[in-house]
Amino acid sequence: MKSFLRIIAYGKPFGKYWPSYLVLSVLSVLFGIANYALVAPLLTVLFEPDTLSGQFVRPEYSFSVSYVTDLFRFHLGQIMAQKGILMGLVYISITLLAATLMSNLTHYLSQRILVSVRTRIMKNIRDDLFQKISRLHIGYFHDCRKGDILSSISNDVNEVQNSVASSFHIIFRDPLLIVGFLSMLFYMSPKLTFVALLTLPVSALLIGRITRALRSGAQVSQGLLGKLLSHFEEAISGIRIIKAFNAQRYVRDRFGNINDQHRQATKRLYNRQELASPLSEFLGIVIAAAILFYGGWLQYKGELGMSWPVFVVYIGFYWRVLEPAKSITKAYSMIRRGMVSANRIFSILDVPAEIRKDKEAISVNEFRESIEYRNVSFRYKGSDTYVLKDINLTIPKGKVFALVGPSGAGKTTMADLLPRFYDVSEGEILLDGINIRKYRPGDLIGLMGIVTQEAILFNDTVANNITFGLEDVPRKEVERAARIANAHDFIMEMEDGYDTNIGDRGEKLSGGERQRLAIARAILKNPPILILDEATSALDSESEKTVQDALTKLMKNRTSVIIAHRLSTIKDADQIVVMNKGRIIEQGTHGELLSCGGIYKHLCDLQVFG
């Protein structure tokens, strides 16, 4: 129930919709009642016209159903007396058509309002979901399958729309229909109606058992769908490796196994869902047949208190009660299934913020003195193993510091702590003497430019990839950044120059070209602090030389933190920090570390310097 109310809350402000919706729904119900009520005089004219004779006295006004029916019979009696039975039929037919038109028109207008509510809800859910995902800490994506996230954004949101939001008209309008027609049933025969209602709990109990099974089945189905999407994403992103290792069959078998499990789970789910409707319809027929028998028995004994035409209308009213009751039952089963998707969505929206903004956060727009790691230790959430332990390091402004060491030494993690992709577990990181947690996160990361081993580009134009995150940047500035990054020449050779679309993740470019665009993006941002994480390790020698030249221009007059495996690229760094197993074990210039004969010298001996 809580999740359902949260979904509805996404439709706010309700005052814009509900008043007009309720008015239109009530009118639709009243006109719908009139449709069935007109059947009685129609049958009377056809089979018992003599009973309408003498209806020439206008009834006295009263706010009641009997006044409306007596007034209609008065006008009908006058028409039949003056113009004959045929004109009476015409009068009833025209009234019936008018009531039907108004009932459907008001229903359509009320549905238009609900469509606005549904589309607003879905838009707001997607907005919140995307904003939440964009704000989540980096560690969340290490612990969660991409397929589950993609499934929530696409399938779960669609499931909520198709099952929950699409049931709003049933939830809000059909109870009005039930109340309206039940009121008429009690007005016509309280005794018969009371007996009929006694049979409804049996129907509700049976349908309830089915809906509980639907919920558990939907949880299994949605979980398997997340795995399917994960396999799709892995197959697309890793297609080169799959083909290179001739692993198509292995990948297909893995996918086929999960796909078959999903089919079986979905089959069971749909079978249960399809059972709800025919079961409720059969129960409705059983109840209607019982009422017909009981009503006929009362009529036979003279205890029913209504004519046969009115009894036919009574049965019609009761059938109109069963229809929305059946719709509500079906809607309830759909909602129970949709709540599984809603809970998966809310499980993302409710992920607590790991990187919290200080309540008294201060603004920062410049870097003046130094960066200091003070007694810093770090371990991932839920792990007892420290990735970094007792790190103490000071990086003065304008200096180039290189982090080297074997894989798994903690170099990238140490760099990730600086822009607060993660927060330290122990100790603190200071920027100009102030703990970085005291700064506004957006301002802090605004001081930094990051170039990683894999150049992250987007399916957009060259210019938009360079200006990523910036607005209203003159084309001259874009070109200047590209020239510094040694990218202008190859850009101009492309079909549309800076307006060329580079494809998904920049697939239309070579590795060196992608990296130079990433460098141009960092140059345009013009950050005082630069983080380079293996920026040239994936390039061939020729591309590395071009990119390294661009990086040298980029690092000029900036404070730089470089993570490198190719030690030839950091020989000129002001300080080289050697790490191993999460600790700093050596620190100095290239010459100083070589003379020490430690692990740095060992790493250098393994590589050939050009």
The CATH number given to whatever domain includes residue 512 is: 3.40.50.300
Candidates 499, 507, 512, 511; CA nearest to 465 is 499
- pLDDT at residue 388, rounded to an integer: 93
- Count of domains observed in the chain: 2
Residue 525's SS3 state is helix
Close Cβ partners of 117 (under 8 Å, ≥ 6 residues apart): 11, 17, 165, 168
pLDDT value of residue 437: 92
**pLDDT, position 166:** 66
Q: Contact, 505 vs 535, CB < 8 A?
A: no
pLDDT over 60 at 208, yes or no: no
What's the full length of the chain, in residues? 610
Extract the tokens encoding 286: 């059983």
In angstroms, the Cα distances linking 523 to 114, 479, 529 are 50, 11, 11
pLDDT class of 450 with cuts at 50, 70, 90: confident
E-only strand ranges, 281-435? 370-378, 388-396, 400-404, 426-431, 434-435
CB burial of residue 190 (10 Å; 0-12, 13-18, 19+):
exposed
What confidence tens digit (pLDDT) does each residue in 157-192 have?
877 877 776 676 677 777 777 777 777 777 777 777
8 A C-beta contact, residue 364 and residue 447: yes
* Coil vs helix vs strand at 26: helix
Indicate the pLDDT class of residue 575, thresholds 50, 70 and 90: very high
**Do 334 and 476 share a structural domain?**
no
| Cis check: omega of the bond before 41, within 30 degrees of 0 | no
Instruction: Kindly state whether residues 324 and 461 are assigned to the same domain.
Output: no
Closest CA to 422 of 412, 431, 413: 413
Predicted local distance difference test score (pLDDT) of residue 584: 92
Question: What is the model's pTM?
Answer: 0.66
Residue 341 and residue 485 in one domain:
no
pLDDT of residue 338: 77
Distance, in Å, from the CA atom of 427 to the CA atom of 373, rounded to the nearest integer, reads: 8
Token code pair at residue 263: 């089919």
Q: Which of 526, 551, 580 is the last residue of a domain?
A: 526
Residue 306: how many CB atoms within 10 A of its CB?
Answer: 17
- Strand ranges (E), 461-537: 529-533
Strands 575-580 and 583-588: antiparallel
Residue 578 backbone phi and psi in degrees, to 5: -100, 125
And the tokens for 492?
A: 């101009």
DSSP strands (E only) in 282-368: none
Is 60 exceeded by the pLDDT of residue 236? yes
- Residue 273 has what pLDDT? 66
Q: Is residue 266 part of a domain?
A: yes
Give the count of beta carbons closer than 10 Å to the beta carbon of residue 219.
18
Cα–Cα distance, 423 to 395 (Å, whole number): 19
Is the Cβ–Cβ distance between 530 and 430 less than 8 Å? Answer: no
What average pLDDT does the segment 455-460 reach? 82
pLDDT band at 48 (very low <50, low <70, confident <90, very high): low
* Token reading at 506: 């920049």
Q: What residue numbers bound the domain in which 81 lies?
A: 2-349
Identify the pLDDT of residue 394.
Answer: 94
Residue ranges in 136-199 assigned as alpha helix (H): 138-143, 146-151, 157-159, 168-188, 190-197
| Per-residue model confidence (pLDDT) at position 217 | 58
Which pLDDT does position 427 carry in this prediction? Answer: 93
Cα–Cα distance measured from residue 462 to residue 494, given in angstroms and rounded to the nearest whole number: 10
pLDDT at 609: 47
383 domain residue, yes or no: no
Percent of the chain with pLDDT over 90: 11
Kindly report the CATH number assigned to the domain that includes residue 192. 1.20.1560.10
The pLDDT of residue 156 is: 81
> Which of 494, 526, 558 is a domain's end point?
526
Task: Verify that 17 and 158 share a domain, yes or no.
Answer: yes
Cα 61 to Cα 181: distance, rounded to the nearest angstrom:
23
> Does the pLDDT of residue 92 top 70, yes or no?
yes
8-state DSSP, 217: H
In a domain, 128, yes or no: yes
pLDDT score of 610: 43
Query: What is the overall mean pLDDT for the chain?
Result: 78
Mean pLDDT, to the nearest integer, of 422-440? 92
Q: Beta strands 559-563 and 575-580: pairing type? A: unpaired
User: Does any domain span residue 280?
Assistant: yes
Higher pLDDT, 343 or 299: 343
- Answer whether residue 154 is part of any domain: yes
Query: Both 96 and 212 in a single domain?
Result: yes
| End-of-domain residue from the set 477, 501, 526 | 526
Across 32-36, 62-66, 383-387, least confident range? 62-66
C-beta of residue 543 within 8 angstroms of C-beta of residue 516: no
Question: What is the torsional sign of CA 427, 431, 434, 439?
Answer: negative
Any idea which residue has 């059947």 for tokens? 39
Residue 251 pLDDT = 77
- Is residue 168 one of the residues assigned to a domain? yes
> pLDDT tens-digit profile of 118-145?
888 888 888 888 888 877 777 777 667 6
Q: Is residue 283 part of a domain?
A: yes
Residue 300 pLDDT greater than 80, yes or no: no
What span, in angstroms and rounded, lies between the C-alpha atoms of 240 and 598?
A: 40
Residue 353 φ then ψ, to 5°: -75, 120
Residue 396 has pLDDT above 90, yes or no: yes
The conformational region for residue 584 under phi > 0 = left, psi -120 to 50 = alpha, else beta, is: beta
Please list the alpha-helical segments (H only) found in 189-247: 190-197, 200-237, 239-244
3-state DSSP assignment of residue 277: helix
Structure letter (DSSP) for residue 557: T
Query: Using CA atoms, how far apart are residues 593 and 573, in angstroms rounded to an integer?
Result: 12
What are 580's strand-pairing partners? 583
Q: So what's the pLDDT on residue 303?
A: 67
Three-state secondary structure call for residue 401: strand
| Residue 581 forms part of a structural domain | no
Q: Answer whether 544's CB lies under 8 Å from 516's CB.
A: no
- Cα–Cα distance for residue pair 333/319, rounded to 1 Å: 21
Give tens-digit pLDDT for 551-562: 777 787 889 898
